[in-house]
């Protein structure tokens, strides 16, 4: 089984810098609020900051994200991990950690927004060590079908006893589920870890 997807890389839309400047202006208004001599200007500076953020978002056509998809791919299999053009054979890989948060279009309500929102599928992370160096890369999940492909890979890893961790942020998962003690014991028995 081979899992293949696009890498997520850090990138900035040059037109989004106006929006970032607006956030700095709005945040600096908090400093002004604590200086009695100029606190009168607090609402004006804050308003200018928010207006600049909105203007920047319009100029950037709504794309103010600091990350995007790369042309390079992440390929993971029981034989190894390829990050772009670099291949790491599985015998040279250790401490594999999959942080699977969401796929594209998945509704998430993590407290950041009151009503929640749909994910863009770009907040997933794979880290591992190879040759004493830590490799960290973001990866994209396009939808449920790609999550099922990743589940097939995880199943193969469990069956072959390839050590890895799967989690969602700080919560450890097993085949994308949080298990209680009884379920974990059954899971370990099923894969021969008991």
Residues 90, 37: one domain?
Answer: no
Q: Do residues 30 and 97 lie in contact, with contact meaning Cβ atoms separated by under 8 Å?
A: no
Residues 123, 170: one domain?
Answer: yes
Residues 55, 72: one domain?
Answer: no
Residues 89, 145: one domain?
Answer: yes
Q: What is the mean pLDDT of each run of 10 residues along the chain (194 residues)?
A: 92 68 82 80 85 79 69 96 96 97 85 68 95 95 96 96 94 94 92 82
DSSP codes of every residue in 68-119: EEEEEEEEEETTEEEETTEEEEGGGEEEEEEE----TT-EE--SSSSS-EE-
Number of domains in the chain: 2
Angle at 133 between CA 89 and CA 123, to 5 degrees: 85
Residues 54, 101: one domain?
Answer: no
The domain that holds 150 is classified in CATH as 2.30.29
**What residues make up the domain containing 110?**
2-8+68-190
Residues 21, 75: one domain?
Answer: no
Residues 169, 134: one domain?
Answer: yes
Residues 120, 141: one domain?
Answer: yes
Residues 182, 92: one domain?
Answer: yes
Helix H or strand E encompassing 168: strand 164-168
Q: Last residue of some domain: 26, 42, 59?
A: 59
What is the Cα–Cα distance from 152 to 145, expressed in whole angstroms?
Answer: 11
Global confidence as pTM: 0.74
**Would you state the pLDDT for residue 110?**
67
Residues 75, 161: one domain?
Answer: yes
* Tokens encoding 93: 């890989």
50: Cβ–Cβ under 8 A, 6 or more apart, which residues? Answer: 22, 26
13: Cβ–Cβ under 8 A, 6 or more apart, which residues? Answer: 60, 63, 64, 65
In the three-class reduction of DSSP (H, G, I as helix; E, B as strand; rest coil), residue 185 is classed as: helix
DSSP structure class, residue 174 = B
Helix H or strand E encompassing 153: helix 144-160
Residues 74, 153: one domain?
Answer: yes
3-state per-residue secondary structure call for 107-140: EECCCCCCCCEECCCCCEEEEEEECCEEEEEEEC
Residues 44, 140: one domain?
Answer: no
Q: Do residues 153 and 3 lie in contact, with contact meaning Cβ atoms separated by under 8 Å?
A: yes
């Amino acid at each position: 089984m081979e899992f293949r997807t696009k890498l997520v890389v850090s990138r900035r839309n040059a037109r989004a810098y106006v929006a970032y400047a607006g956030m700095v202006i709005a945040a600096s208004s908090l400093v002004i609020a604590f200086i009695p001599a100029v606190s009168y200007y607090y609402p004006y500076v804050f308003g200018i900051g928010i207006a600049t953020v909105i203007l920047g978002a319009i100029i950037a056509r709504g794309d103010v994200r600091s990350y995007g998809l790369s042309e390079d791919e992440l390929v993971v299999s029981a034989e190894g991990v390829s990050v772009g053009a670099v291949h790491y054979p599985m015998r040279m890989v250790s401490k594999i950690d999959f942080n699977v948060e969401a796929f594209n279009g998945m509704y998430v309500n993590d407290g950041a927004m009151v009503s929640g929102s749909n994910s863009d599928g770009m907040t997933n992370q794979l880290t591992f060590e190879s040759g004493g160096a830590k490799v960290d890369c973001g990866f994209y999940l396009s939808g449920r079908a790609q999550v099922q492909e990743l589940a097939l890979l995880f199943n193969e890893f469990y069956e072959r006893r390839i050590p890895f961790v799967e989690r969602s942020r700080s919560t450890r998962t097993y085949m994308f589920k949080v298990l209680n003690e009884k379920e974990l014991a059954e899971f370990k028995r099923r894969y021969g870890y008991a």
